[in-house]
Structure 1
């Protein structure tokens, strides 16, 4: 059973960093510190800070294509360096720790995450967004992240069947050999935000030879904190509907239902991962 880390960019938010000309990545000590906090909390998978990092987004802020691609690769390198630093410290005192060597997953956010208008939670991309447009949007970022050699790839908050199809076809077209997962956001546990049934979306993934599985495709569960994103005001609306205690309660239920990787997404913290790790170890 793997424990996935939470929201690394949220950790940097709490330290007051904001994205100015790629400033998050240029202030890398903060990101390294956040990665280390998740590892200390028991994370088995460290997700890079590239969820909303896109080449078009960096270009719009005045960076060159070369700088944008360098920042994407740096997000992977920072996670790998943090993992290796932490693992070296664990190996020096093996009797005091009970950790696994974490894997690094390169985060690839959905098209809606790039738009930053909340459409990753609605699936409504409009009539002009086609399969080919989505593949073109993801292609170069995927190529750059693959070149950085992460252990895993994570397509995150996919809100509709069309983008799932784009991801699957792109993996085949680029002949990607790195294991990956494709995750969907949902409002009711049965349907994607677009209203399409999960069965329809998962059928696309199950037909892919590139989405990693040893037997049947593994299930990954990592919900956000339950807060609502205001796409107009660009802020989170506070909520207590899914605190760390509820993560503890549901983590064992998700595991018993067949989930192989459990963690937290937006607005979760190292404390969340520590709670999940603790309860899963105690109940295993």
Structure 2
């Protein structure tokens, strides 16, 4: 598993996989979220990857964010089937990459909070300590590390303990490259209140870590957050800028791809070298980023 970006270019990531799957007609109201399509409709995942490549993305992030062994077992799937489904997430992205004519496969490693399905991926309010998090992550980590993915995308990390767990797993697997991105509550702190600078310092100078940064975060906080990262290339893929109204179960605000693309230029100028989108971003957002940074 190896990936070395061109230092002179910005790497364009994809956008919200689940967002685009919903646009393609999928109902993701499920604890497995997009991972349920790995056994219900894998072809639509492949199509979503193709659409992002067509929009100008250099990277396909796999549908393994919520595809953990415990999550599949909780749904009555045998462990061997769970293993095959996690592997399938990479195979689908690889097929799309090959059809598109090139690109990078980032195997998504979602946080423990995604398995809890209670919003803890934004707060870091966990019932496991660092050792427990290492053991929880290890089975999926080992499967993804053996696939043809170019790197692991350790994303939406809200907890300093979870960041330390990921650092330990990287030590266990010296052949693995990864980026590590955090969900942040403001322009300085990750979800559990730890300073982003302290989290980024865990990975500074690590040759296995291709980038450190933020995702699933308000775009208005990105420039400030970039300023707190040193010692590593920087990855940013925030949400669209819309807000979730939990009481009424709907998104509010406007997700303007043009404004998002213009903001991407500011993030590049501030130091980001991997740029894309997270929740509520679409192929059109990625197309605008590509146009702005061309």
Q: Normalization by structure 2: what TM-score?
A: 0.83
In the alignment, which residue of structure 1 is the partner of 2:103? 102
User: 1:4 maps to which residue?
Assistant: 13
1:244 and 2:257 aligned: yes
String of CA shifts for 1:45-104, please: whole Å, max 9, x gaps.
1100111111100011111000001000000000000000111xxxxxxxxxxxxx3100
- Once residues 269 and 201 of structure 1 are traced to their aligned partners in structure 2, the CA distance between those partners, rounded to angstroms, is 29
Q: Give per-residue Cα distances to partners, 1:131-165, cap 9 Å, x unaligned.
A: 11100110000001111120111000001211100
The answer to whether the 8 A contact 2:61-2:107 is kept is yes
Greater CA radius of gyration, 1 or 2? 1
Distance 1:198 1:242 in 2: 26
Distance of 1:227 and 1:176 partners within structure 2? 39
Change (3 A) 1:228 1:113: farther
Matched with 2:270 is 257
Distance 1:80 1:63, change over 3 A: same
Gaps of 5+ in 2: 1-9, 212-229
Structure 1 residue 229, shift from structure 2 partner: 4.9
| 1:218 CA drift (Å) | 0.7
- Does 1 or 2 have the higher relative contact order (CA < 8 Å, sep 6+)? 1
Q: Map 1:1-284 onto structure 2 (within 5 A).
A: 1-14=10-23, 15-18=25-28, 23-26=36-39, 27-87=41-101, 101-125=102-126, 128-173=127-172, 175-206=173-204, 208-212=206-210, 216-229=231-244, 237-281=250-294
C-alpha separation between the residues in 2 aligned to 1:23 and 1:167? Answer: 25
2: CA distance between counterparts of 1:257 and 1:206?
18
**Structure 1 stretch displaced more, 57-66 or 190-199:** 190-199
Separation in 1, partners of 2:291, 2:158 = 31
Per mean C-alpha deviation after superposition, the further-off stretch among 116-125 and 15-24 is 15-24
CA displacement at 1:241 relative to structure 2: 5.0
Q: What is the count of residue pairs matched by the alignment?
A: 262
Instruction: Name the SS for the 2:209 alignment partner.
Output: coil
Partner-residue secondary structure (3-state), 2:203: helix
Q: CA offset at residue 28 of structure 1? A: 1.5
Indicate conservation of the 8 Å contact 1:118/1:229, yes or no: no
TM-score computed with the length of structure 1 as normaliser: 0.86
